[in-house]
């Protein structure tokens, strides 16, 4: 298995204001923790993803990737809306493990941030550096995300956390289904991560059947060749007890699929989308 989405950090409340002090996330998560968790889950490779919007963090993650063969790719951050973004892209893309860029669009106060001119000018430069772009949005952002994807037909896009639906036990959201079906029609949406679902559940308890239904819907829309396993560790620990828990959940989701479909979801899609 390859984990297409996890984070690492040295916890500092000033640097990670989105982490609630005293929560399970308010501590360091570094390479020894990653290796222990991935070993236990039978995960042989990972893609580490930015959690702070600084170039310094991107450089730090690449340094960790140099130390650890388990990390096969890095999704970093650059100031895409800055006219000088190419200087950062030039420097970071010289590293063989720098595979993609992400901006935390979900936290922007403007729901149409993803359609901003300066931001899109930055996106238009990624293809020259052979970089994918990770789309991190909530369900409510799906409509502008579709327009965004259409503006860049030659740019590969990867959808994080199945676009973060508002998950209520026992049902699938129509807004999510409609938006994702539209994205599935776009060939430049190269991958969708089966990750980050547990933290979107609104109920006190998590219905495994509901999460499986979201997986099944995603599979029907995108096919196994565009789905990939990811944990969103350690963020997932807000709702489940361990890294292994989610890895086993996804193994159960794919258990009845063909070997080829299982291989696609568990490692091949990630390898292809991020050119690992």
Q: What is the pLDDT of residues 29-80, one digit of tens each?
A: 999 999 999 999 999 999 999 999 999 999 999 999 999 999 999 999 999 9
Contact 85, 120 (CB under 8 A): no
Dihedral sign for Cα 236, 242, 245, 251, please.
positive
**What is residue 22's predicted lDDT score, i.e. its pLDDT?**
94
Pick the CATH number of 2-273 from 3.30.365.10, 3.20.20.140, 3.40.50.300, 3.40.50.720: 3.20.20.140
Provide the pLDDT confidence category of residue 16 given band limits of 50, 70 and 90: very high
Domain boundaries, the chain: 2-273
Interatomic CA distance for residues 251 and 132, integer angstroms:
26
- 3-class SS of residue 157: strand
| pLDDT tens-digit map of 105-155 | 999 999 999 999 999 999 999 999 999 999 999 999 999 999 999 999 999
**What is residue 173's predicted lDDT score, i.e. its pLDDT?**
96
Q: Is the pTM of this model over 0.95?
A: yes
24 backbone dihedrals φ, ψ, rounded to 5°? -65, -20
């Amino acid at each position: 298995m390859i984990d297409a989405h996890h984070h690492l950090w040295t916890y500092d409340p000033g640097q990670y204001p989105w982490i609630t002090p005293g929560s399970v996330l308010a501590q360091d998560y570094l390479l020894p923790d990653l290796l222990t968790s991935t070993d236990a889950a039978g995960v042989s490779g990972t893609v580490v993803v930015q959690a702070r919007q600084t170039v310094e963090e991107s450089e730090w993650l690449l340094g960790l990737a140099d130390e650890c063969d388990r990390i096969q790719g890095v999704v970093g951050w650059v100031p895409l809306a800055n006219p000088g973004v190419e200087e950062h892209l030039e420097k970071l893309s010289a590293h063989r493990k720098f595979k993609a860029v992400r901006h935390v669009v979900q936290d922007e106060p403007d729901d149409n941030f993803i359609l901003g001119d300066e931001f899109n000018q930055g996106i238009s430069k990624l293809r020259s550096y052979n970089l994918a772009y990770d789309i991190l949005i909530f369900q409510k952002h799906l409509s502008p995300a579709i327009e965004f994807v259409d503006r860049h037909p030659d740019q590969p896009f990867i959808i994080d956390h199945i676009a973060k639906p508002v998950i209520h036990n026992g049902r699938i959201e129509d807004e999510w289904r409609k938006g994702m079906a539209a994205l599935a029609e776009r060939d430049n949406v190269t991958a969708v991560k089966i990750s980050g679902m547990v933290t979107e559940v609104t109920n006190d308890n998590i219905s495994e059947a509901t999460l499986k239904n979201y997986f099944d819907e995603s599979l029907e829309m995108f096919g196994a060749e565009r789905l990939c396993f990811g944990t969103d560790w350690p963020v997932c620990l807000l709702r489940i007890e361990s890294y292994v828990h989610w890895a086993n959940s996804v193994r159960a989701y794919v258990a009845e699929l063909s070997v080829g479909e299982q291989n696609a979801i568990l490692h091949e899609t990630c390898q292809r989308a991020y050119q690992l």
